Amino acid sequence: MGTIKVMDEILANKIAAGEVVERCLNVVKELVENSIDAKSTEIKINLIDSGTKKIVVSDNGIGMNKEDAMLAFSRHATSKLKDLDDLFNISSLGFRGEALPSIASVSHIYLQTSKDGIGTSIFLNGGVIERIENSDLSVGTTIEVKDLFYNTPVRLKYLKNLYTELALIIEYVNKMALSYPSIRFVLTNNEKELLNTSGDGNLLKVIYAVYGIDITKKMIEINGENDDYVISGYIGYPEIAKTSRNVITTLVNGRVIKNPELNRCLVDCYHTYIPKDKFPMIILNIDVDPILIDINIHPQKMDIKFSKLDSLKELITKVINSKLKEILLVPHANIRDLNTIYEVEDSLPVNTINYELDEEEEPVKETSPNREELSFDFDNDNKITGTKTEEVVEEEKEERCEYRIKEMIPVGVVHKTYIIAENASGMYIIDQHAAAERINYEKVLNALLKEDYKVIGLLVPIRLEYPKDEFIRIKEHMDILKSIGITLEEFGDNTFIVRSHPTWFFEGYEREAIEKIIAITLEKGEFDKEKFIYRTAATMACKMSIKANDYLDLDTAKILLDNLRRCDNPFTCPHGRPTIITYSNYDLERLFKRAMN
Provide the residue type at 126 as one letter.
G
Give the pLDDT of residue 356.
Answer: 31
Residue 76's CB is within 10 A of a number of other CB atoms, namely: 11
Q: Positive or negative CA dihedral for 470, 473, 478, 481? A: negative
Report the pLDDT value the prediction gives residue 347, as an integer from 0 to 100: 34
Residues of the chain with pLDDT under 50: 14-19, 76-77, 79-92, 94-97, 297-301, 330-401
Residue type, 97: G
Q: What's the per-residue H, E or C state across 298-342?
A: CCCCCECEECCHHHHHHHHHHHHHHHHHHCCCCCCCCCCCHHHCC
Choose among 47, 81, 39: nearest CA to 63.
39
Which residues on neighbouring strands pair with residue 166, listed in sequence order?
none
* Spatial strand order in the sheet of 282-288: 219-225, 229-236, 282-288, 248-252, 255-256
* Fold of the domain built from segment(s) 218-326: Ribosomal Protein S5; domain 2 (3.30.230)
Give CATH for domain 446-544. 3.30.1370.100
- Report domain extents, the chain: 9-198, 218-326, 338-440+548-591, 446-544
Rounded distance between C-alpha atoms, residue 51 and residue 341, angstroms: 54
In terms of pTM, does the model score above 0.75? no
Burial class (CB in 10 A: 0-12, 13-18, 19+), 159: middle
Residues 290, 95 contacting (CB under 8 angstroms)? no
Across the beta sheet with 488-490, the strand order is: 455-465, 495-502, 488-490
Dihedral sign, Cα of residue 267, residue 270, residue 271, residue 275: negative
The total number of residues written for the chain in this structure: 597
3-state secondary structure of 478: helix
Fold adopted by 338-440+548-591: formyl-coa transferase, domain 3 (3.30.1540)
Contact 113, 87 (CB under 8 A): no
Long-range contacts of 416-423 (CB under 8 A, 24+ apart): 416/548, 416/549, 416/550, 416/551, 416/552, 417/548, 417/549, 419/552, 419/557, 419/560, 419/561, 421/557, 421/561
Residues whose CB is less than 8 angstroms from the CB of residue 514 and which lie 6 or more positions away in sequence, other chains included: 462, 464, 486, 498, 501
Cα–Cα distance for residue pair 162/381, rounded to 1 Å = 42
Mind giving me the DSSP string for 265-286?
A: HHHHTTBTTB-TT-B--EEEEE
Q: Are 384 and 348 in contact (CB under 8 A)?
A: yes
Cα angle value 528/154/157 (rounded, 5°): 45
pLDDT at res. 425: 84
CATH of domain 9-198: 3.30.565.10
Residue 552 pLDDT: 87
Q: Which of 285, 294, 254 is nearest to 90 (CA)?
A: 294
DSSP string for 362-409: PP-GGGS--TTTEEEEE-TTS-EEEEEHHHHHHHHHHHGGG-SS---E
Residue-level pLDDT at 357: 28
First to last CA, the chain: 91
The pLDDT of residue 71 is: 83
Q: Which residues make Cβ contacts (< 8 Å) with residue 502, sequence separation at least 6?
A: 452, 453, 454, 455, 456, 484, 485, 486
Q: Comparing C-alpha atoms, which of 520, 500, 519 is closest to residue 458?
A: 500
Q: Do residues 437 and 591 touch, judged by C-beta distance below 8 A?
A: no
Which run of H or of E encompasses 293? strand 293-294
Furthest-apart CA pair in the chain: how many Å? 104
Phi-psi region of 255 (alpha: psi -120 to 50; beta: other; left: phi over 0): beta
Tell which residue, 552, 547, 542, has the closest CA to residue 421.
552
Angle at 63 between CA 59 and CA 69, to 5 degrees: 120
- C-beta separation of 102 from 23 below 8 A: no
